[in-house]
């Protein structure tokens, strides 16, 4: 077990600032100052949410669906505004940011369709009629990270609302602006006051208060494994429902029989997209020994030509890291003198820039080969045969995603079944779609989000038996 999975910050509320300065990570300019919620603010928000939820759950399912579709339509009309905000506060390239805002719209539309389809079952039993109901949980807390502030806020929020719950959302300290704007757009769309509240604040203060609050029925958390474990422990005290989406160290497995050109051309995007700050980043590249040299030869130009620069420029593929702290974290895995196999460029001067870096692992136990780096850094390891590839792929406490490159269909299926991870792709690096389930094995998480069953995770199943005996 590595240290970063165990660390957990225990701090007193007074140690945290009462407001957060939001920086543009590409320029280090302060773009906003946002007040940090106190435990008192959290309690007041949960009280308002409890009230709003009663009215919301009492609406006809078709009316909830209509309001959520209206919310989706309002978001659709603000894609450019939301994307521009994401470029400024998170440094995401504008093309990615537009996709992220569109993803919020799609999540709301997809969840809205579920509100009227939350059917229970009629189960044959003797002596009466037996039916099940999927009832809302009440108030759901969504604790979102900074790496995909908009989509991940909506992954929890959209299905929770569609299933009849209220949501209190705590965005990450560094990226509250898009979430705050989404809450305003919800009101503009006609969602009731108090139904979706966004409370920016410090994780160990506002986040912890929300998790502990007895009025919160479920916590949806995306972030570090260390904090996820602490949240799960806190939830245990109240037997609260919890969904955890934690880190990853996902393999990209390239077999000798694959289309090596395509595998090499697509590999950079799989660990450089979002500057590697992606829980699904394919940051361990496992290459069959017989094609290792050829793959590395093709990978080098693909990595160095990945366009790094101004996130507002549509030609940019990779922006800066989110913060100085994250850059220090990433740097700690790549000492100045580390012999990088491939290193790209990065702008000099202001901004939390870090170059694309590919390391050749010194061994499978190498810290950079085992821990989540959450930056534009991948490690390459050779393997001998299929059994060796599966063993290496599974030699991690994580199990979120992975890619398998091969032209052999039988092998693609065998390896997909053998890798202990929630989201695998063959001859592709796709992992997240709003219509398909997403989540981790092992310490990558607990529960599933998205997909056709997303609403069910925000309900209790109630069984009712009605006697048909004559009264």
Q: Which residue is nearest to ligand NAI (CB)?
A: 203
Q: How far is the CB of 259 from ligand NAI (least distance, A)?
A: 30
Residue 338 CA to its chain's centroid (Å): 30
Is 147 a residue that touches ligand NAI (CB under 6 A)? Answer: yes
Plot region of 188 (φ>0 → left; ψ -120 to 50 → alpha; else → beta): alpha
What kind and span of H or E run contains 301?
helix 292-304
Among 136, 194, 215, 223, indicate the residue that binds ligand NAI (CB under 6 A): 223
Give the pairing of strands 377-383 and 401-405: unpaired
| DSSP-assigned letter for residue 438 | B
d(Cα 364, Cα 379) in Å, to the nearest integer?
10
- Which of 173, 273, 310, 449 binds ligand NAI (CB under 6 A)? It is 173
Nearer to ligand NAI, 288 or 444 (CB): 444
**From candidates 26, 49, 97, 227, binder to ligand NAI by CB under 6 A:** 227
Q: How far is CA 206 from the centre of its chain?
A: 20
User: Pick from 172, 260, 346, 380: which binds ligand NAI (CB under 6 A)?
Assistant: 172
With vertex at residue 31, the alpha carbon angle to CA 30 and CA 32, rounded to the nearest 5 degrees, is 100
Identify the three-state secondary structure at position 242.
strand
195/211 with CB nearer ligand NAI: 211
In 3-state terms, what secondary structure has residue 426?
strand
In the complex, the smallest distance separating the C-beta of residue 97 from ligand NAI, rounded to whole angstroms, is 17
CA distance 234 to 310: 41
Residue placing its CB nearer to ligand NAI in the complex, 164 or 171: 171
Q: Is 143 in the site for ligand NAI (CB under 6 A)?
A: yes
User: Are 352 and 320 a contacting pair, CB within 8 Å?
Assistant: yes
Q: Judged by CB under 6 A, which stretch of 37-45, 204-212, 431-439, 456-464 contacts ligand NAI?
A: 204-212
Q: Is 329 in the site for ligand NAI (CB under 6 A)?
A: yes
Q: Is 245 a residue of the active site?
A: yes
Does 438 participate in binding ligand NAI (rule CB under 6 A)? no
Residue 279 sits in the site that holds ligand NAI (CB under 6 A): yes
Cα dihedral 378/267/222/454 (nearest 10): -160
Count residues near ligand NAI (CB under 6 A): 25
The catalytically annotated residue of 86, 89, 173, 245 is 245
| Region binding ligand NAI by CB under 6 A among candidate stretches 189-197, 241-249, 282-290, 347-355 | 241-249
Please tell me whether residue 204 binds ligand NAI under the rule CB under 6 A: yes
Indicate the pairing of strand 423-426 with strand 401-405.
Answer: parallel
Tokens found for residue 430: 């796709």
In the block, tokens 């009230």 appear at 51
Based on the shown chain and the rule CB under 6 A, indicate whether residue 274 belongs to the binding site for ligand NAI.
no
Half-sphere exposure of 262 (CA within 13 A, CB side): 14
Which stretch, 72-80, 143-151, 301-309, 446-454, contacts ligand NAI (CB under 6 A)?
143-151
Element (H or E) spanning 382, and its range?
Answer: strand 377-383
Packed helices 79-90 and 94-115: angle between N→C axes, nearest 10 degrees? 120
**Among 25, 114, 138, 145, interactor with ligand NAI by CB under 6 A:** 145
Q: How far is CA 67 from CA 191, 196, 459, in A?
A: 6, 13, 20
Site pattern 343..382 for ligand NAI (x: CB under 6 A): -----------------------------x-x--------
Nearest approach, Cβ of residue 374 and ligand NAI (Å): 4
Active centre residues (catalytic): 245
* Residues lying near ligand NAI in the complex (CB under 6 A): 143-145, 147, 170, 172-173, 203-204, 207-208, 211, 222-224, 227, 230-231, 245-247, 279, 329, 372, 374
């Amino acid at each position: 077990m590595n240290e970063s999975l165990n660390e957990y910050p225990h701090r007193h509320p007074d140690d945290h600032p009462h407001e957060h300065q939001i920086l543009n990570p590409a320029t280090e300019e302060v773009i906003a100052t946002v007040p940090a919620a106190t435990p008192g603010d959290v309690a007041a928000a949960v009280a308002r949410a409890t009230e709003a939820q009663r009215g919301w759950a009492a609406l006809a399912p078709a009316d909830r669906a209509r309001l959520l579709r209206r919310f989706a339509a309002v978001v659709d009309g603000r894609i450019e505004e939301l994307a521009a905000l994401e470029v400024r506060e998170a440094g995401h390239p504008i093309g990615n940011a537009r996709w992220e805002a569109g993803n919020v719209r799609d999540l709301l539309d997809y969840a809205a369709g579920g509100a009227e389809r939350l059917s229970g079952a009629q189960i044959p039993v003797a002596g009466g009629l037996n039916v099940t109901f999927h009832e809302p949980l009440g108030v759901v807390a969504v604790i979102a990270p900074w790496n995909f502030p908009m989509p991940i806020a909506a992954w929890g929020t959209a299905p929770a609302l569609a299933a009849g719950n209220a949501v209190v959302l705590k965005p990450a300290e560094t990226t509250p602006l898009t979430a705050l704007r989404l809450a305003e757009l919800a009101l503009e769309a006609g969602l009731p006051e108090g139904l979706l509240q966004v409370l920016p604040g410090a994780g160990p203060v506002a986040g912890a208060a929300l998790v502990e609050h007895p009025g919160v029925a479920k916590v949806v958390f995306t972030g570090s494994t260390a904090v996820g474990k602490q949240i799960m422990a806190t939830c245990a005290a109240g037997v609260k429902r919890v969904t955890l989406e934690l880190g990853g160290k996902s393999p990209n497995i390239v077999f000798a029989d694959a289309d090596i050109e395509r595998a090499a051309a697509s590999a950079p995007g799989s660990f450089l997209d979002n500057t590697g700050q992606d829980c699904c980043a394919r940051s361990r590249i496992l290459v069959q020994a017989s094609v290792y040299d050829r793959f590395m030869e093709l990978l080098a130009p693909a990595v160095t030509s990945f366009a790094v620069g101004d996130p507002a420029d549509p030609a940019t593929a990779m922006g800066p890291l989110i913060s100085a702290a994250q850059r220090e974290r990433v740097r700690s895995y790549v000492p100045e003198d580390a012999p990088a196999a491939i290193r790209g460029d990065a702008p000099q001067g202001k901004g939390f820039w870090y170059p694309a870096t590919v390391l050749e692992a010194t061994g499978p136990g190498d810290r950079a080969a085992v821990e989540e780096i959450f930056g534009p850094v991948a490690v390459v390891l050779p393997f001998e045969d299929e059994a060796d590839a599966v063993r290496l792929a599974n030699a991690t406490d994580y199990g979120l995603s992975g890619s398998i490159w091969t032209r052999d269909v039988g092998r693609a299926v065998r390896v997909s079944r053998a890798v202990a991870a929630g989201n695998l792709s063959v001859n592709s690096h796709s992992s997240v779609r709003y219509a398909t389930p997403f989540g981790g094995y092992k310490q990558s998480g607990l529960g599933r989000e998205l997909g056709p069953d997303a609403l069910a995770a925000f309900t209790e199943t109630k069984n009712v038996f009605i006697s048909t005996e004559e009264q």
